[in-house]
Amino acid sequence: MASIMERADENLLPSVYKEVSEAFNAGPTDLGYLTFIRNFVQALSSPLAGVLVLHYDRPTVLAMGTLCWALSTAAVGASHQFSQVAFWRAVNGFGLAIVIPALQSFIADSYLDGVRGTGFGMLSLVGSVGGIGGGVLATIMAGQEFWGMPGWRCAFVMMALLSSLIGFLVFMFVVDPRKTHKIIPHESIESSERDNLVEKGNAGSGLPSVWLESWRAMKAVMKVQTFQIIVLQGIVGSVPWTAMVFFTMWFELIGFDHNKSAALLSLFAIGCAMGSLLGGLVGDRMSRIYPHSGRIMGAQFSAFMGIPCSWFLLKVIPQSVDSWNTFAVTLFFMGLTISWCATCANNPMFAEVVPAKHRTMIYAFDRAFEGSFSSFAAPIVGILSENIYGYDPKSANLASGSKKEAFALSRGLLSMMAVPFGLCCLFYTPLHLTFQRDRENARLATSKEQEMT
């Protein structure tokens, strides 16, 4: 449920870009900066999740982050100046920074190596339900009024209330898998003994030991070559996904109404949800056949598919309301094939190349590096559309559509999607040489720690 609300919250603002643009007289570049601010703050704050999880239960950390983003979401809905929206989007990024790495390490600890891809696929599939629901709900509510309040503002307030409820439920009922390893009793005994020793060793040692332990964990994660390579591909691989926040605005500029735009985005989201699960299943299957390179090959295929799909969607299909069916089929197929990387390779491989206690830290640093660079994609799309391809915010007719501005925005999107997808595919290649060694080093370190305990 926390994953559902997290994805719904992420999709909320892009779904009402048109209404926010009208309310605050903002163009694509300004809207891109809103996404940039949230993603950049989220990236910079992500390592904090790794520090918090070393010393607090993950359900407590998840609840803290959920309440933080709920507060900021409500505040965005109540804002009357663009600067206020920007500030609260930054706070929203801080909350998401705490939640996402904790969720990922939670799943990594709950599944064994051979089925971990399926676990991450299920998390992504379930979370996508929230993404679809949040996007569709906001897009449909945006064109109406409720109790004299614009529909897009009501959507933000409603999402904040639901998020607060989920945060409370997480805090009250979720149990950290580190506390209950019922499947493997022997590991449970070792884990509890080790936890007791750590608690006794840290008792009375105060704040300096907290930061010392965090610093050691950070250094251990940063030295892993597989981590470095996945982060490198992730920096460019996240760029197209950040640029896609303009899809809703692009469809409405073509001339589609709220409902048809929401339907198109829903089909894409459904494709991504099913693709995430499919990618996890493919990754698990490939890892049994090719233990050291199966997951990597699956991710490279998925990244490569982003090139023809982006080209066909943004350049080949006529940008007309008569092309709705073609857009729908293309978006679904695109979502089904380009969404494998995280569940097929990245997340399962991260869990295998560091000891279990460092898992949250590795996911946190992945978000920090990838998010900080990819956050520039949204404003760059706006800048390219306005300064190079001729998008004019003043002449754009957001009510009935504007073919010229839709064309300009599509060219800006294509620039920030096709090339990064190609580079992402290329940057996966060195993993064929490093993954096996790093995984064996992590297993050796874990076995040594257990022997010492």
Give the model's pLDDT for residue 199. 41
Give the model's pLDDT for residue 392. 63
Share of the chain above pLDDT 70, in %: 85
* Residue 197 CB coordination number (10 Å): 12
Confidence band for 183, pLDDT divided at 50, 70 and 90: very low
Paired with 150 in beta bridges are: 145
Question: Helix or strand or coil: residue 328?
Answer: helix
Q: What angle do CA 80, 86, 87 make, to 5 degrees?
A: 95
- 47-68 average pLDDT score: 80
pLDDT at residue 77 tops 60:
yes
Handedness of CA 171, 176, 179, 184 (dihedral sign): positive
Give the model's pLDDT for residue 394. 61
Backbone angles phi, psi at 289, to 5 degrees: -80, -45
pLDDT at residue 439 tops 70:
yes
For 131, the token pair is: 């993404």
Give the model's pLDDT for residue 428. 93
pLDDT at residue 45 tops 70:
yes
Answer whether 347's CB lies under 8 Å from 116's CB.
Answer: yes
Give the model's pLDDT for residue 400. 58
- The residue ranking higher by pLDDT, 379 or 119, is 119
Answer whether 381's CB lies under 8 Å from 246's CB.
Answer: yes
For 431, the token pair is: 């993993």
Give the model's pLDDT for residue 85. 85
- 257-270 average pLDDT score: 85
Q: Which of 361, 18, 370 is nearest to 215 (CA)?
A: 361
Question: Helix or strand or coil: residue 149?
Answer: strand
- Residue limits of CATH 1.20.1250.20 in the chain: 1-174, 209-452
CA 12/CA 76 separation, integer angstroms: 11
- 345-355 average pLDDT score: 85
- 69-88 average pLDDT score: 86
Give the model's pLDDT for residue 350. 85
- 108-126 average pLDDT score: 82
Kindly state the helix (H) or strand (E) to which residue 54 belongs, with its residue range: helix 28-55
Highest mean pLDDT among 78-92, 207-221, 297-311, 436-450: 297-311
Fold of 1-174: Growth Hormone; Chain: A; (1.20.1250)
Q: Say what the pTM is.
A: 0.71
Confidence band for 186, pLDDT divided at 50, 70 and 90: very low
pLDDT at residue 416 tops 50:
yes
For 312, the token pair is: 């066909």
Give the model's pLDDT for residue 375. 67
Give residue-wise pLDDT tens across range 12-33. Answer: 777 777 777 777 777 777 777 7
pLDDT at residue 378 tops 70:
no
Highest mean pLDDT among 52-66, 132-146, 201-215, 229-243: 229-243
Give the model's pLDDT for residue 340. 92
Q: 209-452 in CATH: which number?
A: 1.20.1250.20
Give the model's pLDDT for residue 198. 41
CA 417/CA 378 separation, integer angstroms: 11
- The residue ranking higher by pLDDT, 388 or 137, is 137
CA 336/CA 270 separation, integer angstroms: 8
Integer-rounded Cα Rg, in Å, for the chain is 22
Least confident of 66-80, 176-190, 220-234, 372-386: 176-190
- 161-190 average pLDDT score: 68
pLDDT at residue 426 tops 50:
yes
- The residue ranking higher by pLDDT, 75 or 360, is 75
